[in-house]
């Protein structure tokens, strides 16, 4: 495995010529692993949410290509099945493009494995740098809200938004974390809470709909979130519910921070309207862990992401630097 992560959390493991993924669908009550032996297995794990979080998806996809390369299977077919597994997370396409560049030099499985491991190690290094930069924006004893899961489970280690919180807590800058439950997959209640409790970071779980009332009732300093794709103008796609948090934060004078590696920026995407938003099946809303909670045959509108306009974002933090009040000119100046 490349790199390391917080408190022994290693959700992506390459060992003995195959890929093991910590199944995030059953956490925190069970630690189960998905064994992947080909690109299709990895694509199914990505689409089925066994592995999730934009950076982690990209890392897993890179290893998926290696699996088929080692078996001598068709590279183009492997790339296609992985490309179609999640349409919104730009890190997936970014990682596949890096692997394609290596593949163009010759179909060499060892070279592809080295590149996948490099992507994995680089992500951890980027997380640590983003955490350093983002933590510096927080006052001492800050109270923060975070959404979904953006920690070691969603990345190559340490995390993006949760990585900032980890490092800020170590520096004495965090007094309280409020993490949303994050319907319908409950990544905040299941995964973020699990990571925070493992490190004894003071946290309280809140319902998604309680965030605005919390901002009105308590002194919240920052909302800190990750991203699945950032358009060149700064519009940001992230887990559904992020946009509502940004609107509430602006109304209540709470700062709003997006934390994501440079691979999450899509400099060819002009704005949020051009970001494809994945629609998930209705049963994810009408059922809860297999139990039906809505009327039988109830239809549902279930976008898994929304887009927060750049005008509602106070800072975007990536490993290359901090962009305050982001716009296209500032993003291009930092990332070229």
CA 121, chain centre distance (Å): 16
Instruction: Write out the two tokens for 94.
Output: 């970014």
Phi, psi at residue 234, to the nearest 5°?
A: 100, -10
pTM confidence score: 0.88
Angstrom distance (rounded) from CA 209 to CA 224:
17
The pLDDT of residue 1 is 37
Cα angle 62, 9, 69 (rounded to 5 degrees) comes to 20
Max alpha carbon distance in the chain (Å)?
60
The pLDDT of residue 331 is 98
Q: Edge-to-edge, what's the strand order for the sheet holding 265-266? A: 265-266, 229-231, 236-239, 305-308
Angstrom distance (rounded) from CA 281 to CA 90:
21
Q: Residue 146's closest CA among 216, 236, 238?
A: 238
Which DSSP string do the residues of 73-116 spell out, in sequence order?
A: --HHHHHHHHHTS-SS-HHHHHHHHHHHHHHTT---HHHHHHHH
Q: Are 180 and 188 in contact (CB under 8 A)?
A: yes
Active site residues: 228
- What domains sit in the chain, N to C, each tagged with a CATH number? 6-127 (1.20.120.420), 130-335 (3.40.50.10470)
Helices 54-70 + 109-135 axis angle, to 10: 170
- Cα dihedral value 147, 201, 129, 320, nearest 10: 30
Per-residue pLDDT of the chain (336 residues; tens, 9 = 90+): 333 445 568 899 999 899 999 999 999 999 999 999 999 999 999 999 999 888 899 999 999 999 999 999 999 999 999 999 987 778 899 999 999 999 999 889 999 999 999 999 999 999 999 999 999 999 999 999 999 999 999 998 899 999 999 999 999 999 999 999 999 999 999 999 999 999 999 999 999 999 999 999 999 999 999 999 999 999 999 999 999 999 999 999 999 999 999 989 999 999 999 999 999 999 999 998 889 999 999 999 999 999 999 999 999 999 999 999 999 999 999 998
Angstrom distance (rounded) from CA 125 to CA 2:
11
Instruction: Write out the two tokens for 234.
Output: 């700064």
The pLDDT of residue 6 is 56
In this structure, the chain runs to a length of: 336
- φ/ψ region of 31 (left if φ > 0, alpha if ψ in -120 to 50, else beta) reads beta
Tell me the Cα Rg of the chain.
19
Identify the three-state secondary structure at position 45.
helix
Cα angle 73, 69, 9 (rounded to 5 degrees) comes to 125
Instruction: Write out the two tokens for 237.
Output: 């796609």
Identify the three-state secondary structure at position 324.
strand
The pLDDT of residue 5 is 47
| Contact residues for 4 (Cβ-Cβ < 8 A; gap 6+) | 10, 124, 157
């Amino acid at each position: 495995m490349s790199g390391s992560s917080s408190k022994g959390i290693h959700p992506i493991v390459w060992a003995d010529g195959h890929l093991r993924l910590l199944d995030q669908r059953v956490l925190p009550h069970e630690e189960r692993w998905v064994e992947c032996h080909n690109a299709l297995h990895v694509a199914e794990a990505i689409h089925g949410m066994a592995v999730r979080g934009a950076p982690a998806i990209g890392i897993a996809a890179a290893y998926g290509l290696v699996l088929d390369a080692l078996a001598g299977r068709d590279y183009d077919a492997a790339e296609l099945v992985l490309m179609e597994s999640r349409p919104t997370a730009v890190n997936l396409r970014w990682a596949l493009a890096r692997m394609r560049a290596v593949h163009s030099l010759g179909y060499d499985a060892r070279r592809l494995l080295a590149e996948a491991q490099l992507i994995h190690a680089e992500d951890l290094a980027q997380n640590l740098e983003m955490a350093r930069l983002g933590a510096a924006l927080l006052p001492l004893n800050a109270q923060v809200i975070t959404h979904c899961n953006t920690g070691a489970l969603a990345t190559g280690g340490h995390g993006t938004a949760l990585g900032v919180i980890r490092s800020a807590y170590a520096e004495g800058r965090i007094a309280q974390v409020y993490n949303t439950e994050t319907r319908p997959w409950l990544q905040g209640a299941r995964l973020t809470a699990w990571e925070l409790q493992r490190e004894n970071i003071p946290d309280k779980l809140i319902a998604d709909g309680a965030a605005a009332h919390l901002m009105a009732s308590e002194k919240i300093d920052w909302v800190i979130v990750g991203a699945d794709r950032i358009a060149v103008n700064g519009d940001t796609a992230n887990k559904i519910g992020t946009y509502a948090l940004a609107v509430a934060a602006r109304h209540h004078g709470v700062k709003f921070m997006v934390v994501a590696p440079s691979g999450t920026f899509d400099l060819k995407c002009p704005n949020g309207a051009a970001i494809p938003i994945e629609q998930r099946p209705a049963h994810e809303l009408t059922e809860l862990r297999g139990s039906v909670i809505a009327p039988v045959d109830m239809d549902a509108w279930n976008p898994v992401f929304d887009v927060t306009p750049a005008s509602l974002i106070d800072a975007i933090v990536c490993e290359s630097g901090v962009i305050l009040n982001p716009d296209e000119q500032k993003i291009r100046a930092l990332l070229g």
